[in-house]
Chains A and B, each alone.
Chain A
Amino acid sequence: MYRKQVRRRRAVLALLVLGSFALLTLTYGQSSNGFQRGVSTIFSPLQTVFDRALKPARDLVDWFDETFEARGENERLQAQLQEEREMAVAGQVALQENAQLRKLLEFDRGPALATSAFEPLTARVISRSPIVWHSTVTIDVGSDDGVRVEDPVMSPDGLVGKISSVEGGSAQVMLLTDADSSVSAKVVPEGVQGVVRPEIGDPEDLVLDFIDSTKRVSRGQKVVTSGWRAETIASQFPQGLPIGEVTRASVEEQEASQQVHLRPFADLRDLDFVQVLTGGSR
Chain B
Amino acid sequence: MILTPKIVARLVAIALLGAMLQLCFFSRVDLFGVSPDILPALVVVLGLLGGSMTGAVAGFSIGLLVDSLLVEALGASSLVLLGTGYLAGLFRERFEIHSSLVPALLCMGLTLFAELGYAAVQLLLGVDAHISMLLIRDMLLKSFYAFFLGWAIYMTVRRVLRSALVEEPEAPRREASALGAR
- A-side residues, CB < 8 A to B, are 9, 12-13, 16-17, 19-33, 35-36, 39-40, 43, 46-47, 50-51, 54, 57-58, 61-62, 64-65, 68, 125-134, 136, 138, 164-165, 172, 179-181, 197-205, 207, 269-270
- Asked if B131 contacts A201 (CB within 8 A), the reply is yes
Render B65-77 as a binary contact track against A, CB cut-off 8 A, 1 for contact: 1111111111111
CA of A28 to CA of B121, assembled, Å: 12
- Asked if A20 contacts B78 (CB within 8 A), the reply is yes
Render B114-153 as a binary contact track against A, CB cut-off 8 A, 1 for contact: 0000110010010111111111111000000000000000
- Asked if A201 contacts B27 (CB within 8 A), the reply is no
Instruction: Please name all residues of chain A whose beta carbon is closer than 8 Å to the beta carbon of B86 when the two chains form the complex.
Output: 13
Instruction: Please name all residues of chain B whose beta carbon is closer than 8 Å to the beta carbon of A179 when the two chains form the complex.
Output: 122, 127-129
Interface residues of A, dominant DSSP: mixed
B132's contact among A43, A54, A201, by CB below 8 Å, is which?
A: A201
In the complex, B102 has a CB within 8 A of chain A? no
Instruction: Please name all residues of chain B whose beta carbon is closer than 8 Å to the beta carbon of A125 when the two chains form the complex.
Output: 28
A22-B75, A198-B130 given; 7 more Cβ-contact pairs under 8 Å = A9-B52, A16-B82, A27-B73, A40-B69, A54-B24, A138-B70, A165-B71
The number of inter-chain residue pairs (CB within 8 angstroms) is 186
A21-B79, A198-B130 known; A47-B23 Cβ under 8 A: yes
CA of A18 to CA of B129, assembled, Å: 28
- Asked if B21 contacts A16 (CB within 8 A), the reply is no
A178 closest partner in B (C-beta): B129
Question: Smallest Cβ distance from B8 to chain A, in angstroms?
Answer: 15
- Asked if B70 contacts A133 (CB within 8 A), the reply is no
Instruction: Please name all residues of chain A whose beta carbon is closer than 8 Å to the beta carbon of B135 when the two chains form the complex.
Output: 132, 200-202
- Asked if A40 contacts B24 (CB within 8 A), the reply is no
Instruction: Please name all residues of chain B whose beta carbon is closer than 8 Å to the beta carbon of A17 when the two chains form the complex.
Output: 79, 82
A13-B86, A36-B74, A68-B32 known; A133-B132 Cβ under 8 A: no
In the complex, B39 has a CB within 8 A of chain A? yes
Question: Smallest Cβ distance from A181 to chain B, in angstroms?
Answer: 8
B68's contact among A22, A25, A35, A202, by CB below 8 Å, is which?
A: A35
Instruction: Please name all residues of chain A whose beta carbon is closer than 8 Å to the beta carbon of B130 when the two chains form the complex.
Output: 197-200, 207
